[in-house]
């Protein structure tokens, strides 16, 4: 591989070194570590960043797309050492609902357990996908979806159309609806967690497609609770890109971040 993800050079619309990336992450309330789900090197980088933030003394919460929110109790019991890892995976239905090799992600949740870091499920239940695909997120009544849903803007749709090209046989509108379900539901969880734990940094382990360029989850967090410092790291063709901003969307809500999500 021509570029090592564990090297010191990143792109911040200009090249910056790893230490500067970490220093900017230290200024953020929410840190998104975008991934390609089946790449071990990216997960190693995620762990390295998590370890370094913990070493620097930050109070952390780890949120993972690999787990769906209805199964939070099993994650709580795992971190509290009340159940073993295999029992946690069984009760969260990991092998059914996520299915990627657990050893890609296990170092992250094991580190959380060993260091008393709260571990939260980020993803929405897959039972919502059929309804969203057929009727849209705006018409979905669920505790996992906020009352107000921010639609996709044109630039985000252009990016999604590029991604859609990799899913042959998939129609555009149902694809957009499901993507909006995931982005909205995960943003709602991030927003509520940020309000509930104002003294913690949130480290979000999620697919790059949900955070690239600040689209998807980050801009919806701003929409829900107002502008807060957020950092995004994502990978494209073996190059790691880094973005730091308080406002990922000109249409973001200006509401005070001490309010409940919209």
SS3 letters across the chain: CCCCCCCCEEECCCEEEHHHHHHHHCCCCEEEEEECCCCHHHHHHHHHHHHHHHHCCCCEEEEEEEEEHHHHHHHHHHHCCCCCHHHHHHHCCHHHHCCCCHHHHHHHHHHHHHCCCEEEEEECCHHHHHHHHHHCHHHCCCCCCCCCCCCCCHHHHHHHHHHHCCCCCCCHHHHHHHHHHHHHHHHHHHHHHHHHCCCCEEEEEEEHHHCHHHCCHHHHHHHHHCCCCEEEEEEECCEEEEEEECCCCCCCCCCCCCCCCC
Report the predicted TM-score, pTM, of the whole model to 2 decimal places. Answer: 0.90
Going along the chain from its start, the domains and CATH numbers come out as 9-127+201-245 (3.40.50.11550)
pLDDT of amino acid 250: 46
One digit per residue, the tens of pLDDT, for the chain of length 262 reads 233 555 545 555 555 678 888 999 999 999 999 999 999 999 999 999 999 999 999 999 999 999 999 999 999 999 999 999 999 999 999 999 999 999 999 999 999 999 999 999 999 999 999 999 999 999 899 999 999 999 999 999 998 998 777 655 568 899 999 999 999 999 999 999 999 999 999 999 999 999 998 999 999 999 999 999 999 999 887 788 889 888 775 433 322 333 456 5
pLDDT of amino acid 101: 98
């Amino acid at each position: 591989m021509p570029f090592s993800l564990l090297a010191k050079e990143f792109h911040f619309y200009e090249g910056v070194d790893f230490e500067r990336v970490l220093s900017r992450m230290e200024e953020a309330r929410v840190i998104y570590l975008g991934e390609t789900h089946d790449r071990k090197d990216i997960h190693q980088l995620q762990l390295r960043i998590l370890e370094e933030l913990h070493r620097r003394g930050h109070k952390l919460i780890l949120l993972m797309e690999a787990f769906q929110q209805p199964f939070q109790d099993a994650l709580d019991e795992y971190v509290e050492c009340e159940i073993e890892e295999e029992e946690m995976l069984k009760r969260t239905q990991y092998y059914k609902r996520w299915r990627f090799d657990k050893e890609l992600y296990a170092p992250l949740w094991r580190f959380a357990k060993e260091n008393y870091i709260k571990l939260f499920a980020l993803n929405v239940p897959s039972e919502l996908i059929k309804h969203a695909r057929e009727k849209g997120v705006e018409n979905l009544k669920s505790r996992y979806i906020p009352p107000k849903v921010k639609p996709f803007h044109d630039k985000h749709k252009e990016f999604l159309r590029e991604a859609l090209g990799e899913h042959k046989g998939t129609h555009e509108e149902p694809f957009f609806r499901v993507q909006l379900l995931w982005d909205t539901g995960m943003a709602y969880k991030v927003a509520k967690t940020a309000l509930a734990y104002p003294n913690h940094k949130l480290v979000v382990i999620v697919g790059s497609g949900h955070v690239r360029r600040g689209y998807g989850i980050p801009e919806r967090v701003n929409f829900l609770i107002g502008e807060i410092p957020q950092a995004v790291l994502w990978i494209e063709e073996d190059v790691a890109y880094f973005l730091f901003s308080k406002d990922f969307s000109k249409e973001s809500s200006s509401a005070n971040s001490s309010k409940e999500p919209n």
